[in-house]
């Protein structure tokens, strides 16, 4: 491990050379920044990962069942497990998806589940990302470059090989493909995760295309090849949000979508990866109910813990939140990327009063959680080892027949001492996640 640390600057220079960057829009300006890599890996034992694997597979299976139910029979609402208004008031719920069953009966093919490990060593799920979760390409390419920089590190440590992600992704796309080629659809060069789109297309053998290179002809979707020949598309891994997917169904001003692609999807003639409408399942408010979903759909107790969470929507929870506001974390369910997260103890009296009033007046808009004391991980900073907060984004791939938990993951860390916001959009860095073999 010490040998690899000598190459931290070399690996980061190569990452920059290969364009491993993260782009963000701020104040209407697009800015690309390097995603700093730390060579000290997060290490997860074989036994510990087996536990995570069971819990993640269970959680994603239940979430897929929930999506099929919520756009179908809605048994979970009828049986009083989740309040009706909680579903229909969610910005992630799309009435356009009512009655649609995707090819293979899978809604979330690629799920990014964000976890943290507390200092009590227990793992807690912070968030479920079932729309367009990104980040798998970063540990994938970083591991490849680390292997080249320090081959001896990987000969002397018994680490699970993470190079199978592209194979798992291709198998997932193939399993729901309705007949045709696999395409990864990108909004283009100025998207925040464009590097990932192009990298995964290369690794899986899928075609990388923008909306302008795709067209609906009759009842099918086609890729317009450079030679003038149209190729039928059977699976579209689209890296744009639901809103901009089809201007004929969603936001009509969209210039990056594909007109009428939703009609093709409704007819079962193309698989959309991930399915539209998944936002209802990764709504931060719905997160509260995931352990209940697991019990309801699978008849099992949840293996993984949610962070202790309160819904101001419920009177009992509202009282607890108001009595303990300064000790809690308040999260706006409409925000993402580390935005909209407020620690009660960081507010002055005026800010505290204002936010309390907002929570009282708009209880559905917020969830409130206990502060989890994250486990600190070692990070190299200017040649010194320091402690920083870190999370883990685990990737779960669900095909028509199998669920796979990738034996790797994206460990993100804060570059600010004591800070718990680790998102890349907030200036965080990343490290490789080593899952040990027996």
DSSP 290-324: HHHHIIIIISS--SSEEPPEE-TTSHHHHHHHHHT
pLDDT of 374: 86
Bigger pLDDT: 216 or 229?
216
User: Tell me: the pLDDT tens digits for 279-317?
Assistant: 999 999 999 999 999 999 999 999 999 999 999 999 999
User: Tell me: the pLDDT tens digits for 217-226?
Assistant: 999 999 998 7
Distance CA(396)–CA(404), nearest Å, equals 6
What does pTM read for this prediction?
0.94
Bigger pLDDT: 16 or 43?
43
Does residue 334 surpass a pLDDT of 80? no
Does residue 77 surpass a pLDDT of 70? yes
Listed range (28-32, 95-99, 190-194) with the worst mean pLDDT: 28-32
Please, are residues 125 and 113 in contact by the beta-carbon 8 Å criterion? yes
Residue with tokens 């701020």, as numbered in its chain: 26
Distance CA(245)–CA(261), nearest Å, equals 8
Please give the mean pLDDT across all residues of the chain: 93
pLDDT of 322: 97
pLDDT of 33: 73
Mean pLDDT, residues 14-26 taken together:
76
Residue length of the chain:
438
Distance CA(200)–CA(182), nearest Å, equals 12
Strand pairing category for 305-306 and 123-129: parallel
- Terminal Cα-to-Cα distance of the chain (whole angstroms): 18
pLDDT band at 30 (very low <50, low <70, confident <90, very high): low
pLDDT band at 428 (very low <50, low <70, confident <90, very high): confident
Does residue 214 surpass a pLDDT of 70? yes
Strand pairing category for 366-370 and 403-405: unpaired
Mean pLDDT, residues 202-231 taken together:
94
The alpha carbon dihedral of 250, 111, 143, 42 has a sign of positive
Mean pLDDT, residues 142-148 taken together:
94
Does residue 407 surpass a pLDDT of 70? yes
Does residue 192 surpass a pLDDT of 90? no
Distance CA(342)–CA(334), nearest Å, equals 14
Does residue 419 surpass a pLDDT of 80? no
Share of the chain above pLDDT 90, in %: 81
Does residue 1 surpass a pLDDT of 60? no
Mean pLDDT, residues 215-239 taken together:
94
Mean pLDDT, residues 202-216 taken together:
97
User: Tell me: the pLDDT tens digits for 376-401?
Assistant: 999 998 889 999 999 999 999 999 99
pLDDT band at 233 (very low <50, low <70, confident <90, very high): very high
Mean pLDDT, residues 41-62 taken together:
97
Q: Supply 428's token pair.
A: 């965080």
Does residue 227 surpass a pLDDT of 80? no
pLDDT of 338: 65
Strand pairing category for 410-413 and 384-398: antiparallel
**What is the DSSP secondary structure assignment for residue 18, as one 8-state letter?**
T
Distance CA(402)–CA(66), nearest Å, equals 17
Listed range (10-19, 339-348, 421-430) with the worst mean pLDDT: 421-430
Q: Which of 316, 251, 294, 336 is nearest to 57 (CA)?
A: 294
Q: Supply 384's token pair.
A: 């010194």
Cβ neighbour number for residue 396 with a 10 Å cutoff: 26
Does residue 4 surpass a pLDDT of 70? yes
User: Tell me: the pLDDT tens digits for 102-134?
Assistant: 999 999 999 999 999 998 899 999 999 999 999
Mean pLDDT, residues 270-282 taken together:
97
Mean pLDDT, residues 318-330 taken together:
96
Q: Which long-range contacts (CB under 8 A, 24 or more apart) does 335-343 make?
A: 337/423, 337/425, 337/426, 338/421, 338/422, 338/423, 338/425, 338/426, 339/425, 341/421, 343/371, 343/420
Distance CA(181)–CA(223), nearest Å, equals 9
pLDDT of 397: 98
Does residue 58 surpass a pLDDT of 90? yes
Cβ neighbour number for residue 291 with a 10 Å cutoff: 19
pLDDT of 438: 81
Mean pLDDT, residues 140-147 taken together:
95
pLDDT of 67: 98
Q: Which of 63, 81, 74 is nearest to 99 (CA)?
A: 74
């Amino acid at each position: 491990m010490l040998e690899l640390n000598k190459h931290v600057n070399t690996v980061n220079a190569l990452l920059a050379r290969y364009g491993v960057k993260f782009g963000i829009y701020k104040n209407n300006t697009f800015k690309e920044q390097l995603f700093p890599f730390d060579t000290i890996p997060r290490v997860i034992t074989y036994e510990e990962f087996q536990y995570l694997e069971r819990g993640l597979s269970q959680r994603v299976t239940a979430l897929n069942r929930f999506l099929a139910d919520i756009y179908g029979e809605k048994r979970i609402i009828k049986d009083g497990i989740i309040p009706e208004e909680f579903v229909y008031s969610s910005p992630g719920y799309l009435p356009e998806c009512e009655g649609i069953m995707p090819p293979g009966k899978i809604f979330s093919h690629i799920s990014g589940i964000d976890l943290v490990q507390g200092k009590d060593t227990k793992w807690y799920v912070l968030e479920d990302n079932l729309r367009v979760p990104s980040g798998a390409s970063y540990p994938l390419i970083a591991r490849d470059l680390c292997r080249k920089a320090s081959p001896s590190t990987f000969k002397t440590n018994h680490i699970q090989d993470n190079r199978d992600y592209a194979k798992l992704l291709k198998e997932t796309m193939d399993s729901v493909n309705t007949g045709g080629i696999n395409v990864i659809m990108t909004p283009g060069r100025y998207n925040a995760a464009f590097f990932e789109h192009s990298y995964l297309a290369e690794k899986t053998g899928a075609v990388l295309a923008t909306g302008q290179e795709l067209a609906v002809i009759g009842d099918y979707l086609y890729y317009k090849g450079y030679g003038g020949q149209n190729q039928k598309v059977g699976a579209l891994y689209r890296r744009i949000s639901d809103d901009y997917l089809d201007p004929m169904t969603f936001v009509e001003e969209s210039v990056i979508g594909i007109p009428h692609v939703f009609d093709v999807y409704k007819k079962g003639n193309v698989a959309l990866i991930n399915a539209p409408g998944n936002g209802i399942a990764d709504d931060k408010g719905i997160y509260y109910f995931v352990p209940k979903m697991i019990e309801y759909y699978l008849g099992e107790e949840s293996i993984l813990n949610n962070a202790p969470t309160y819904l101001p929507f419920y009177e009992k929870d509202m009282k607890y939140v108001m009595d303990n506001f300064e000790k809690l974390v308040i999260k706006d369910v409409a925000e993402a990327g580390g935005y909209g997260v407020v620690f009660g103890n960081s507010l002055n009296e005026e800010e505290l009063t204002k936010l309390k009033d907002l929570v009282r007046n708009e209880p559905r808009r917020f969830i409130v959680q206990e502060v989890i004391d994250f486990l600190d991980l070692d990070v190299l900073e200017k040649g010194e080892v320091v402690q920083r907060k870190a999370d883990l984004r685990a990737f779960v791939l669900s095909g028509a027949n199998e669920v796979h938990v990738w034996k790797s993951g994206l460990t993100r860390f804060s570059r600010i001492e004591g800070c718990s916001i680790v998102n890349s959009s907030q200036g965080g860095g990343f490290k490789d996640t080593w899952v040990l073999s027996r």
